[in-house]
Amino acid sequence: MDYTLLKSIASPADLRRLPRTELQAVADELRAYVLESVSRTGGHLGSNLGTVELTVALHYVFNTPDDRLVWDVGHQTYPHKVLTGRRDRMDSLRQLGGISGFPRRDESEYDTFGTGHSSTSISAAHGMAMAAKIKGEERKAVAIIGDGSMTAGMAFEALNNAGVAHGGLLGDVLVILNDNDMSISPPVGALNKYLARLMSGSFYTAAREGAKSVLKNTPLYEFARKFEEHTKGMVVPGTIFEEFGFNYVGPIDGHDLDSLVPTLENLRDKKGPQFLHIVTKKGAGYKLAEADPVKYHAASGKFDPAVGFVKPATPGKTTFTQVFGDWLCDMAEADPRLVGITPAMREGSGMVEFHKRFPQRYHDVGIAEQHSVTFAAGLACEGLKPVVAIYSTFLQRAYDQMVHDVAIQNLPVLFALDRAGLVGADGATHAGNYDVAYTRCVPNMAVLTPADEDECRQALYTGFMHDGPVTVRYPRGAGAGVVPVKAMTAQPWGKGEVRRQGQRIAILAFGTLLYAALEAAERLDATVANMRFVKPLDADLVGELARTHDALVTVEDGCLMGGAGSAVTEALNAAGLSIPVLQLGLPDEFVEHGDPVKLMSLCGLDAAGIEASIVKRFGAKPVVVHSAAR
Ligand SMILES: Cc1ncc(C[n+]2csc(CCOP(=O)(O)OP(=O)(O)O)c2C)c(N)n1
Ligand SMILES: CC(=O)[C@@H](O)[C@H](O)COP(=O)(O)O
Ligand SMILES: [Mg+2]
C-alpha cells in the first residue's frame, strides 16, 4: 500500500478537510499502516486495530487539540499518533529516544493526558471539562475507555462525580465506552455481564428518549423511530450510566463510520455529561488477531503480518514469571489453603496453568488492584493463604489496602511482585522502581529480593510459609539462568550470604544485580554479599562487612531514595558504625522506554557501570581511609 491519503494528513486539520466519503479509505490505510509498523517494532496491536474507525471519527468530528481526547490506558493510541503528526516516527515506537507507546503530554499537543495505567480517563476528562467551565472556555473533553478499564473503581468514582453539577457547573464531558468484550484476557465480572445484556437489548437503548435525537442522521434513527411507535406507553428501562447522570446512547457499531460520525456530531453539540457505548472487535481487520485477541494483545518484537506471531525455534530462557507460575501450581498442590489472585493480568503474571488446574482457587478480579488486596486480606482472615500476583507498578494503586487491610492486621498475604525494576519498552509508567521503598517502611511487611530463578522459587516458598505479609520481587524476563531446584526449602529468615570473599570493598547486592556485582567484584577483588532480604535486613552481616572492609557498596534495581541501600545506611547508623557507603540504584528521575539492557547500562547498573562507579568513588585500587568508629 502506498498510503496516499495518510501521506496527505499531517495533522487532524487535514483530515477534517476531506469529504466524509473518504473516511473509510483513510481508516483502511491507517489500519494497514499500524499493522505494518507494529510488525517492525513490536507493541500493542489488538486494541489499536480495534479503534481505527473511532480515532478517525473523533479527529474528524472534534476540533482537536482544542477539544481534549483522553485515551484510557493509552495502549490504543497508535492510530491517533499516526493522524497527529507522528506517522514518520512510528518506526521508533517504544525504543530508546523514540516515541512512547502511550500518550505523553511532552510528545504532542494532541496527547492531552499521559496514561499507561488504566481507568484514569474519566477523572481527567472531567477535570478538563470543569476547567473549561471555570475558565469560561467552550470545548469538549472526551474520555475513551475500554470495557476492561471500566471495571476499576476509579472509573465509577469519576462517573459519580461527573454526572452531577458542582456549584451550578456541569462539565461538557463525553465518555466513550469502547466495548470489545475483552480485557487482556477474557473479561470478568458483573459489569461485563451487564454490558452484554445492554448489547443484546440494543433496540431498547436505541429507542431511549435521550438517544433519539443523538441518533439523527444515522442508520439507526429510522429503526429507533419505528421501535418507539411500536413500544408507545412501554417503560423502557434506564441504564446504570443514566442513573449516574449521563445521557446514554448506544450501543452502536464502532467500526461503522456512517453511524459513528453523525452520532459523534450530535453528541458534540449537546451540553452536559454524555455517554456513548460503542461495540468494536479487538484486532479488527487482521484475522489472526480477531481469532486470538489474547495472543495478539501485544507483539513482543518483530513479526511477519502474513504469518503472525510464531514461537522461536529454540525456547528462550525460563522467565521469572514462569518460575512463579510453576511454583504457584506446585504450592497449590501441596497446600489446599492457597488462593491465587490477579487483577486482570493472568497471562502476564504466569497464571494460565494455575487457572486451568485450580479454577476454584483462581480469582481474576478485573482491573481492581485495590480490591484484589483487600479481598486477599478477607481470605487470610478466614485461614486461607492468598497469593496476590501483581506487577510492582500496579501495586502502587493499592498502597492503602496493603497498609491498612493487610499489614496493620499482620495478615499472611504473599505479594508476588512481578516486573520489579525497569521493564523496557513500556517505560516509566510501568517501571517497578518504587516497591522496595514503599513496602519496607510499612511495619510487619517483609521484603525479599531473590537473585536468580532458583532463589525466586525458594523465596516464594519462604514468603508463603511466613505468618505475615511478604513481598517477593522479581523482574520482567529471565535472569542468570539458574534452574530452580524442584524441592522447596525455606531460606533462613532475614539472612544474607557472602558469595565472594575479597578485600577492602564489600558489595551488598539486593536482587538480580547480584550477578553484575559478582562480575564487577572479580575485577576489583571485592567481597560480594547476596543480601536476599531488604527486610528484615541481615544487620549482623552488614555489621560484619562494615568491620572487615574499608567501604561498602549497595546495589539494587530499585529507586535509590528509600531503597535497600538506605536500609543499609540506617542499619549502620543504628549500630553506630561509620564507613563510606556508595549506594547504586535507579536515579531520582523517570527512566524512559527502551531496551532494558541498554537502560540498565545507562543507569550504570551493569557490571561495567558498577565497577566504574566504585573506581570513580574509591580509586582504581580501592583504598579508603579507615573511619574513626571502626
Ligand atoms: C491499573 C492498571 N492495571 C492493569 C493494567 C494492564 N492492562 C493494560 S490494558 C488492560 C486491558 C484493558 O482492557 P480494555 O480497557 O477493555 O482495553 P482493550 O485492551 O480491550 O482495548 C490491562 C489489564 C493497566 N494498564 N493498568
Ligand atoms: C498496557 C499494559 O498495561 C499492558 O498491556 C502491559 O504493556 C503489559 O506489559 P507486559 O508485556 O510486561 O506484560
Ligand atoms: Mg476491552
Residue 401, domain CATH: 3.40.50.970
59 marked ligand binding residue: no
Residue of minimum CA distance from atom 11 in ligand 1: 183
Who's near 453: CB < 8 A, 6+ residues apart?
Answer: 318, 320, 323, 478, 479, 480, 481, 482, 483, 484
Task: Give the C-alpha separation, 495 to 544, whole Å.
Answer: 13
Task: Give the C-alpha separation, 581 to 506, whole Å.
Answer: 10
Would you say residue 628 lies in a domain? no
- Three-state SS letters, 127-146: HHHHHHHHHCCCCCEEEEEE
556 marked ligand binding residue: no
* Inter-CA distances, 383 with 252, 342, 396, Å: 47, 19, 26
The predicted pLDDT at position 199 comes to: 82
Task: Using DSSP, state whether 577 is helix, strand or coil.
Answer: coil
The predicted pLDDT at position 625 comes to: 44
Would you say residue 489 lies in a domain? no
Q: pLDDT class for 208, splitting at 50, 70, 90?
A: low
Q: Write the pLDDT tens digit of every residue in 325-359.
A: 999 999 999 999 999 999 999 999 999 999 999 99
Instruction: Say whether both 543 and 614 belong to one domain.
Output: yes
What is the Å distance from ligand 3's center to 624 Cα? Answer: 58
> In this structure, which ligand is nearest to the CA of 344?
1
Would you say residue 627 lies in a domain? no
Residue 607, domain CATH: 3.40.50.920
The predicted pLDDT at position 333 comes to: 98
Catalytic residue numbers, as ranges: 282, 369, 397
Q: Which residues line ligand 1 (CB under 6 A)?
A: 47, 73, 75-76, 117-118, 146-149, 180, 182-184, 282, 344, 367, 369, 394, 397
Instruction: Say whether both 122 and 269 belong to one domain.
Output: yes
Instruction: State mean pLDDT over 233-244.
Output: 78
Residue 327 has a CB neighbour count (10 Å cut-off) of 24
Q: Is 348 in the pocket of ligand 2 (CB under 6 A)?
A: yes
Would you say residue 482 lies in a domain? no
Would you say residue 305 lies in a domain? no
Would you say residue 413 lies in a domain? yes
The predicted pLDDT at position 235 comes to: 57
Instruction: Say whether both 405 and 352 belong to one domain.
Output: yes
- Listed residues 426, 458, 473: the one ending a domain: 473
The predicted pLDDT at position 233 comes to: 58
What is the Å distance from ligand 3's center to 149 Cα? Answer: 7
What is the Å distance from ligand 1's center to 143 Cα? Answer: 15
Instruction: Say whether both 528 and 604 belong to one domain.
Output: yes
Would you say residue 488 lies in a domain? no
330 marked ligand binding residue: no
Instruction: Say whether both 445 and 522 belong to one domain.
Output: no
Instruction: Say whether both 44 and 110 belong to one domain.
Output: yes
Instruction: Say whether both 388 and 504 belong to one domain.
Output: no
Instruction: Say whether both 291 and 339 belong to one domain.
Output: no
- Listed residues 473, 489, 506: the one ending a domain: 473
Q: What is the extent of the structural domain holding 508?
A: 497-618
ipTM of the prediction = 0.99
Work out the mean pLDDT of the chain and round it to a whole number: 94
Instruction: Say whether both 463 and 545 belong to one domain.
Output: no
pLDDT reading at 229 higher than 70: no
Instruction: State mean pLDDT over 3-13.
Output: 98
Is the model's pTM score more than 0.90?
Answer: yes
Q: pLDDT class for 94, splitting at 50, 70, 90?
A: very high
pLDDT reading at 629 higher than 50: no
Residue of minimum CA distance from atom 22 in ligand 1: 184
Instruction: Say whether both 90 and 205 belong to one domain.
Output: yes
What is the Å distance from ligand 3's center to 182 Cα? Answer: 4
C-alpha cell at 153: 473503581
180 marked ligand binding residue: yes
Q: Write the pLDDT tens digit of every residue in 428-457.
A: 999 999 999 999 999 999 999 999 999 999
75 marked ligand binding residue: yes
Q: Write the pLDDT tens digit of every residue in 17-73.
A: 999 999 999 999 999 999 999 999 999 999 999 999 999 999 999 999 999 999 999
The predicted pLDDT at position 349 comes to: 98
Would you say residue 311 lies in a domain? no
Instruction: State mean pLDDT over 550-574.
Output: 98
What are the phi and psi torsion angles at 355 (to 5°)? -60, -45
* Inter-CA distances, 465 with 69, 388, 462, 513, Å: 48, 15, 5, 26
Q: Is 475 in the pocket of ligand 2 (CB under 6 A)?
A: no
- Listed residues 407, 439, 473: the one ending a domain: 473
> In this structure, which ligand is nearest to the CA of 72?
1
Residue 274: enclosing H or E segment and its boundaries?
Answer: strand 274-279
Instruction: Say whether both 81 and 117 belong to one domain.
Output: yes
What is the Å distance from ligand 1's center to 529 Cα? Answer: 39
Q: pLDDT class for 189, splitting at 50, 70, 90?
A: very high
Instruction: Say whether both 573 and 542 belong to one domain.
Output: yes
Q: Is 419 in the pocket of ligand 2 (CB under 6 A)?
A: yes
Residue 380 burial class via C-beta count within 10 angstroms: exposed 0-12, middle 13-18, buried 19 and up: buried
pLDDT reading at 392 higher than 70: yes
The domain total for the chain is: 3
> In this structure, which ligand is nearest to the CA of 180?
3
Q: pLDDT class for 620, splitting at 50, 70, 90?
A: low
Residue of minimum CA distance from atom 8 in ligand 2: 348
